[in-house]
Structure 1
Amino acid sequence: MKMDAAALQRFLERDFEQVADVLRVDSVGDGVTLRFTPDTRHLRPGGTVSGPSMFMLADVAIYFAILNRIGEVPLTVTTGAHIDFMRKPAAGVDLLAQAKVLKLGRTLAVGTAALCSAGHDDVVAHAQMTYAIPPKS
């Protein structure tokens, strides 16, 4: 493990101030669990969490699962993404993303994230993403 929960949280607060107020690293182990506390900025008409907000959660969670394995490599970037929205998240409840790395190569990493409403087992969205890892200089 190159970055533990505390290191990932510090990285989030230092370099991702645009979302640091709504994301928190819950746990790090075989993967990363990231907690999202949506506010009114993240809701769509009807009061449900917006797709772009859930995409952000999945993207950051998978990114952190990769950094957990390779260390702080800020220029690791998303190069491909697929997300399936399966059901409406529970209202007024945090969302959790459980992310893990499926394949880690020298220049590419592939990860997956399952998003669930806190306290619920049903997956509300599932994402698979590919990231380019910059060459070591």
Structure 2
Amino acid sequence: MTKMTADEANTFLRGAFATKDNRTEVTLMEDGRAVMRLVADESNLRPGGYISGPTQMSLVDSAAYMAVMTKTGHEPMTVTSNLSINFLRPCIGDVVVADARILKIGQALAVMEVDVRIEGADKPSSHAVVTYAIPREPSGMA
């Protein structure tokens, strides 16, 4: 069972990042998995119509964050501690999808793998491994 739904995640993103264009949305939140979709525009493109690396990395990071939230619920102080991405093939298209799955989650860290692909494509354009630091409960020490 997920501790945050896709609707709750989208509400959080709209409020936290004051987006007005609604080009990015969470489409799936299930236990240990989150899928996000971005409708690309000219700000996301490189010459030749390629979706830029920074755009893919941003989507990867956001999808990984949402995957963690399926386990922790809304925890704004959960932060990225590592992101490693491999660009496998050109990412050319109008809609980019990032699918994040938790590999391991503990008390302090969560590790996810994220595939990025053009919507409808069989093969990923990039593959990332992301680690998030999860805030620990205070130990009561002053």
TM-score in terms of structure 2 length: 0.90
Question: What SS does the corresponding residue of 2:136 show, helix, strand or coil?
Answer: coil
Per the alignment, residue 37 of structure 1 pairs with 39
Deviation of residue 102 (structure 1)?
Answer: 0.8
Highest Rg: 1 or 2? Answer: 2
Deviation of residue 25 (structure 1)?
Answer: 0.9
Structure 2, unaligned runs of 5 or more: none
- 1:13-70 per-position Cα deviation (integer Å, ceiling 9, x unaligned): 1112358732111112241110011111111122211000000000000110001110
Structure 1 residue ranges (4+ consecutive) displaced by more than 6 angstroms after TM superposition: none
Question: What SS does the corresponding residue of 1:123 show, helix, strand or coil?
Answer: coil
Letter of the aligned partner of 1:125 in structure 2? S
Aligned-pair identity (%): 35
TM-score in terms of structure 1 length: 0.93
Aligned residues: 136
Q: Following the alignment from structure 2 to structure 1, what is the Cα–Cα distance between the partners of residues 109 and 20?
A: 25
Q: What is the aligned-residue RMSD (CA, Å)? A: 1.5
Matches within 5 A, 1:121-132: 121-132=122-133
Assess if the C-alpha contact under 8 Å between 1:113 and 1:126 holds in 2.
yes
Letter of the aligned partner of 1:11 in structure 2? F
